Amino acid sequence: MTRFWVCVWIVFVVSCGGGGGGGPAAFEVIGASPQAGDAEVPVDQALLVVFNRPADVSTVNTSNISVERSDGTRVGIEIFIQGFNASAVNIKPLAPLWQNVLHRIVLSDDIRSEDGAPLRASSLCFVTMSDNPTVRPDQVLDLGDALNVPRYLARQVRLPNGKILVIGGYTNAADATDTLEIYEPATRTFRLLGSRLSVPRAEHAATVLNDGRVLITGGVSTEDGPPLRSTDIFNTGSEGVGPGPDLQVARRYHAESPYEGGLQAMVSGGVGADGNALDSIERFTGNAWVLLDQPLPRPSTRGLQINYDFDKVYFSASNLDGVGGLYDGVNVTARQEGDIRFRSQYMPVGDGHFAIFGGDTRSFATYVFSSNLAWGGSDFLRERRGAHTVTVRGLGGRRFLVAGGFNIAVPGAPALRTLEIYDSQIPGPFGFPDLVGARVDNVLLPVPFAGHVGFNEPDGPTVLAGGFGDGVGPHSRRVAVILDNVSAPTVVCR
């Protein structure tokens, strides 16, 4: 870890006894770093306390000033008297402070000013963070069975009003549901809607258009049932849903995205009525689905479809040849992705490019369309993951939280409780930001999550909901919230 020292001047005033009868305070702390109650202080940190009058140097020592962890354990420190007339104390930890732990600086009543007045101040409290991204144990909140309906392989979309719509999914090992729920960030609750889909759906897809309509397409109603051609349209304003125009081709496990910036929509690939992967592409225009003249370079299923630069679309390499495709508004051309991916996730990483995470692999791929560049890494993720989620970690949008999924490298392909964090702040091989990852070793999710939905609340925290359950009985209604760095709980000294 790179060591660094930071002293931030923050006004922190504490009036303490002396004089009585409402007279002037004998002593004031006029500056402190970190300020009492501050959170997220770097692990390697110079701690500074500033007085408004000179201290008696003989009373300032490690028996009268201490740094403690939340459990009362003292941290080894050195003290340096600084400033004019001994007006400041610089406290140097002898080793990096423990990561993600509440600490406090305690000033004893035995500290005196030069004129003999007792110097006393409240504890200064803060929570440490590492320059290696991680999650604190107190940032993982288990909300219990907060979904109204068990859901595995449901779909989510963010509505124009900022709320999250959760659609369908398997409620047990065989049957899908026709219900919808909306997540209310203010109360961290899911509200079951009265309106229902025209048929139960799982393995379906959904897209939000610019006008607030949500196109919900295909899927299946039962685990071994035929794929669906039918669609539904949800209206954000009325929260009502009704049948939409049929697809040209029945499909499940297909990909869907907006097109032309959300004026239209597009679907591609999936599994057809004969059980084989599809290569067809359909475009929603007017109020109908129209087949494109050109197919995907390879039949694909359980893949991604990404609309970029208004009318261009990328189709991920969700086939055994590892070949994706680019649609430029006129032609579909093949794009070698470098790995075989099913059930992957992606995130925009700025500067007109995006990264694909996993997909029953440990690899990743980064794409810059404006420069026609692509690069990746074969052993990137710490665990092999598919049907996981990727959300933003931190409001800057350049750090990402990878959660759960199935690990098909382990017998039985268990659902995972683990997390990983990836940061795109560093320069990449072509001058664009690249990704560097860190496994979160200090916490686990309350239960395994795979085939779940995952999204960010408006102010940053990640919400994980539903998933595989035990695979035999009802699937999961479990919900967990992972607080963001900016959403740390209030720091309280005990």
Answer yes or no: do 465 and 362 share one domain: yes
Mean pLDDT computed over 371-380: 77
Answer yes or no: do 50 and 141 share one domain: no
**Of residues 467 and 26, more confidently modeled:** 467
If phi > 0 it is left, if psi is from -120 to 50 it is alpha, else beta; for residue 397 that is: left
Answer yes or no: do 50 and 139 share one domain: no
Asked if residues 285 and 297 have their Cβ atoms less than 8 Å apart, the reply is no
Asked which of 97, 129, 161 is the last residue of a domain, the reply is 129
Tens of pLDDT, residue by residue over 50-98, are: 877 788 888 888 988 899 988 889 999 999 887 766 678 888 999 888 8
Residue 38's nearest CA partner among 488, 432, 436 is 488
pLDDT tier for residue 47 given thresholds of 50, 70 and 90 = confident
Tens of pLDDT, residue by residue over 223-256, are: 989 999 999 999 999 999 999 999 999 999 999 9
Q: How many CB atoms within 10 Å of residue 287?
A: 8
If phi > 0 it is left, if psi is from -120 to 50 it is alpha, else beta; for residue 183 that is: beta
In a domain, 386, yes or no: yes
Specify the pLDDT at position 489: 62
Of 79-88, 282-291, 453-462, minimum mean pLDDT range: 79-88
pLDDT tier for residue 17 given thresholds of 50, 70 and 90 = very low
Domain that holds residue 462: 135-147+342-494
Asked which of 129, 162, 177 is the last residue of a domain, the reply is 129
DSSP sequence for 1-14 = ---------B----
In a domain, 442, yes or no: yes
Mean pLDDT computed over 134-162: 94
In a domain, 315, yes or no: no
**Residue 314, CB-side half-sphere exposure with 13 Å CA sphere:** 25
Q: How many CB atoms within 10 Å of residue 24?
A: 8
Tens of pLDDT, residue by residue over 255-267, are: 999 999 899 999 9
Asked if residues 281 and 231 have their Cβ atoms less than 8 Å apart, the reply is no
Answer yes or no: do 90 and 139 share one domain: no
Domain total for the chain? 2
Describe the strand order of the beta sheet including 453-456 as a list of residue ranges.
Answer: 140-144, 479-482, 462-465, 453-456
Answer yes or no: do 408 and 490 share one domain: yes
pLDDT tier for residue 7 given thresholds of 50, 70 and 90 = very low
Q: What is the dihedral of CA 148, 449, 173, 170, to 10 degrees?
A: 50
Answer yes or no: do 87 and 142 share one domain: no
Answer yes or no: do 139 and 56 share one domain: no
Specify the pLDDT at position 318: 95
**Of residues 369 and 59, more confidently modeled:** 59
CA 13 → CA 25, 36, 331, distances in Å? 11, 10, 67
Burial of residue 274, with CB atoms counted within 10 A of its CB: 0-12 exposed, 13-18 middle, 19 or more buried? exposed
Average pLDDT, the chain: 86
If phi > 0 it is left, if psi is from -120 to 50 it is alpha, else beta; for residue 146 that is: alpha
Of 26-30, 89-93, 486-490, minimum mean pLDDT range: 26-30
**Helices marked H in 2-56:** none
* DSSP character at residue 78: E
CATH number, domain of 42, equals 2.60.40.1220
In a domain, 40, yes or no: yes
pLDDT tier for residue 317 given thresholds of 50, 70 and 90 = very high
Answer yes or no: do 125 and 141 share one domain: no
CATH number, domain of 446, equals 2.120.10.80
Answer yes or no: do 446 and 470 share one domain: yes
pLDDT tier for residue 22 given thresholds of 50, 70 and 90 = very low
Asked which of 129, 159, 174 is the last residue of a domain, the reply is 129
In a domain, 393, yes or no: yes
In a domain, 253, yes or no: no
Answer yes or no: do 140 and 103 share one domain: no
**Helices marked H in 108-246:** none
| pLDDT > 90? residue 8 | no
**Of residues 145 and 99, more confidently modeled:** 145
In a domain, 290, yes or no: no
In a domain, 299, yes or no: no
Residue 190's nearest CA partner among 474, 485, 464 is 464
Write out the H or E segment, with its range, that includes residue 313: strand 312-315
Answer yes or no: do 118 and 139 share one domain: no
Mean pLDDT computed over 116-125: 73
Answer yes or no: do 383 and 493 share one domain: yes
Tens of pLDDT, residue by residue over 182-224, are: 999 999 999 999 999 999 999 999 999 999 999 999 999 999 8
